[in-house]
Structure 1
Amino acid sequence: MVTKKEHGMKRPVVGIIGNSHLINDQYPAHAGGTMNSEAVAQVSGCMPLVIPPDPRLVSVDELMEVCDGFVLTGGRPNVHPEEYGEEWTEAHGAHDRYRDGITLPLVRACVERGQPFFGICRGFQEVNVAMGGTLYPEIRDLPGRMNHRMPPDGTIEEKFALRHKVTLSERGVFHRLFGATEVMTNTLHGQGIKTPGRRIVIDGHAPDGTPEAIYVEGAKGFTLSVQWHPEWDAANDPVSRPLFQAFGDAVRDWARGKHTDLLKSA
């Protein structure tokens, strides 16, 4: 367990983008999954801080001053298709325009400034859209694609179980991080990248060709993002652990006034 202070230094703060929920069908709440906070605190070694995803309550500038890094979490609502130039249809599913109003400008500001962020599932898709990319509304409807959605039945362990491999670019940043060109991951998403945004490098694919791992080319800070959910069992999973450890190292570097460039590290 990471203590509040490590070697006399305060832990850097990681803002975890929350989601909007309705408790008992009537009480509105902002919340973040416990496993996200656990991964940030116990594996990244940072202090987790859940952020209300609403630009009426917080601003990007304020968040970047308070937090040293960000986790763009998964979430049931999708990025609204108007954010990438398409009209909404029922296939696009539920959306959260308030979260769009925080995360998309936050990604662009972090890329410009070099401040680290880690995109997960919806967060992965937000990074692509923020950089000008587009999304498919439903991956499983495409010819030759598998169903990447969360299994409707079973225990939470069964829903987050490893389900397919991801093949990584030879000598790419994810290959160097994992020490392998193939890893096993879970899969709990309906949408996926259609066209990559400007500077978005697709560094890993599922067996059906779905993009699963990306980063922003030329960014000064940590921008790794994945389509799966590495926060599940992050302390023990051999793929999740190095992701959150590398993110924590990047956040600590930022807090000390340095940049972490994984693209140049061995």
Structure 2
Amino acid sequence: MPKDQLLTRRRALLAGAAAVGAAGTAGALAVGSGDGPAPAAAPAPGPAARRPLEPSAYRLQPLTGYGAPREALRRPPVRSEPILRMSGRGRVMMLTFDDGPDPRYTPEILDTLAEYDVRATFFVCGEMADHNRDLLSRMADEGHVVGNHTWSHPLLTRLTRRRIRSEMERTSEVVERAYGEPPRWFRAPYGAWNRAAFQLGAELGMEPLAWTVDTLDWTTPGTGTIVERVEDGAAPGVVVLSHDAGGDRSQTVRALRRYLPELLDSGYHLTVPRRRLV
């Protein structure tokens, strides 16, 4: 066959393949548009023809489950007394708030912490958290730590072991659903600990954390008094106890606005507790 005829035949074959490819592309782009489904493109003739792939065969897989696995934490020991201070170097302190979240006061505390880019620890009661899950979600988004403060704030030393477990477990379940992970820290109401509380807390993967400086803000002593108690007690490793629920906490809100910038100006770093990995 002459050379010019061979070239003409090759051009015809290439043009035909391009037309088939264009028809297939047009059919794919048309899926999902218009009033009805677009007809599928016909497969190319010949022995190598295959059935079009079903959507499930080439659909992109969801990304869920492909990220980094959650870090496993070392199971805490069963302690005989709670942790009172932070370990570490430098002028490091920790702010903690109990009994919430309360929609009247917790958002203002979160606003102040956000203004100064400070993280805190909130020991929540399950019955409060259950009605204010949006605030737990906000705590998670802003990098705060959420701890377990029982469901109904009872005196644990007067409860049976079964009741203590129920108080802890119900709260942990609410925290995990709203915050995104179970609590890793536990604080007994009124600071009343017993062996059962230490044992059950450890079984649920939680460390017991108490405090070093008590602002006694629940007695509503006045904004100035709360500020003085925090500033007088400030020292490396100190854990400060305040409340964001359980009564009128407007003094606590105002006091935080005053002492937080002063602590930062004094060189203190306000942080949250850390747990060791396995």
Fold shared by both chains (TM-score > 0.5): no
Would you tell me which structure has more helix in proportion to its own residues? 2
User: TM-score, normalization: structure 1?
Assistant: 0.30
Structure number with greater Rg is 2
The higher-RCO structure (CA 8 Å, 6+ apart) is 2
User: TM-score, normalization: structure 2?
Assistant: 0.29
